[in-house]
Structures are given as C-alpha cells and as structure tokens.
Amino acid sequence: MRRTRRRRGRRRKPLSRRWERKRQRYILQEAQTSVRYYLSYIPMIAVWIFRVAGICVFAFLIVWHLGQRVSMIGDSMNPILRNGDVVLVNRLVYNARRPRRGDIIVFKPKGNENSHYYIKRVIGLPGEKVEFRENEIYINGNRLEEKYQSTAVDRTGIVTEKMELGSDEYFVLGDDRENSEDSRDADVGNVKREHIFGKAWFVISPRDSFGFIKE
C-alpha cells in the first residue's frame, strides 16, 4: 500500500481563534471610534461650561450691586417711601460718580454697624454751607428749590447757624421733616461718603408700591 504523504508546512489555526482575533480588533476599533467621538464634544462642553459660569458670575454681580434689599423704617420719606417698604439699593452707581443733590441714599449714621440702615435725601454737598431761615433751606446763601414733595423745616436741631460741610460730608434730610431723624440730629449728623451704602432705586414690596423710586 502507498502511504499518503503528509503535507509539510504551517498548520492552520482553528477557525474559532481567527474569528476571536477579528472580534477583538473590531471591538478595539469601535472603542477608538467612540473615544474620538466623545473627545470631539469636549470643546463644545467647555464652551457651554464657560458660558454658564459667566452667566452665574454676572447674575451674582447684578444681585450684589443692584439687588441688596433694605427696609424703610419710619415715615420720614413720605410720600415717596412708607414705613415697611422694601427697597433695592444700587451699590455700583457711586463708584462711577459722587452722590448728587436730591439722591435718596442708604447709609448707617457715623458708620455704626449696630445701627439699622437710614434712607434720606441728599440736601447739601461737600464744601457747601447749609443754613435754615424761616423754615426754608439755604445752600451757600441761596434758597433751595425743591422739585419733590416735602414739608417745611419745623426745627433746626444742631444746625443753629450756618454749617459748612467737610470735603467728604453730605447733609441729608427726610422729606417729611416733622417725622425725620437726620443731619439735624447729633446721633446722625453729616454723612461721610465712606458710610454711604448706596442709592435707593426700586421698591419691591409691598405690591401696591412696586416700581422705580421717583425722585
């Protein structure tokens, strides 16, 4: 009998092992594709996070500089503000300019941190001379013309003669001067610029007073 010669050469690997390698290569390619796909979104996600962070910072600054709330205590600013009104304070405006005559400012008298906030109107500016004559206000010898509703000066308090304001001092009064504790009183006196918290600009409560403060 003739013996069948065995073919010399490389033995074929089982089919299952070849498929296993193909499957692994396929899985690796799919993984690489997925990684590239998700990496392509990183710039978009970074921009989105940056925008959200920017909006949050902007909102915080707006609230911090324009949204600080202070309650009106007493009736010294009638009829513009009433007792219990909650107002928003603009803390940014006086970084750009100085307080002006007629501004309604928020401050703590003599910088006393234990005191509540006072809300009054600016009457006298730094360096000016303030005096009272026959229940009227005079600035540097000229009678003050007031375009807002106010009452006559029924008492002069500590201002018994012409008072000259310092270079950083403001003279303030309430609009209802019969019921106002202001620069005429020793406990309040003239208001230094550093003690001014900001400018009252908006009433948020109660509902029937909601709106901008008319100066």
Q: Which residues pair with 89 in a beta bridge?
A: 68, 200
Q: Is 13 one of the annotated active-site residues of the chain?
A: no
Q: Establish whether the linkage from the previous residue to 126 is cis, with ω within 30° of 0.
A: no
Give yes or no for a contact between 161 and 138, defined as CB atoms under 8 angstroms apart.
no
Give, as one character, the DSSP assignment of residue 115: S
Q: Establish whether the linkage from the previous residue to 206 is cis, with ω within 30° of 0.
A: yes
Measured between alpha carbons, how far is 38 from 15 in angstroms, rounded to an integer?
35
What is the full DSSP assignment across 84-107? T-EEEEESSHHHHS---TT-EEEE
Measured between alpha carbons, how far is 180 from 74 in angstroms, rounded to an integer?
8
Catalytic residue selected from 76, 150, 180, 183: 76
Catalytic residue selected from 120, 150, 183, 199: 120
Contacts of 66 (CB under 8 A, 6+ apart): 88, 89, 90, 91, 92, 201
Q: Is 76 one of the annotated active-site residues of the chain?
A: yes
Of 183, 187, 211, 202, the C-alpha closest to 70 is 202
Q: Catalogue the active-site residues.
A: 76, 120
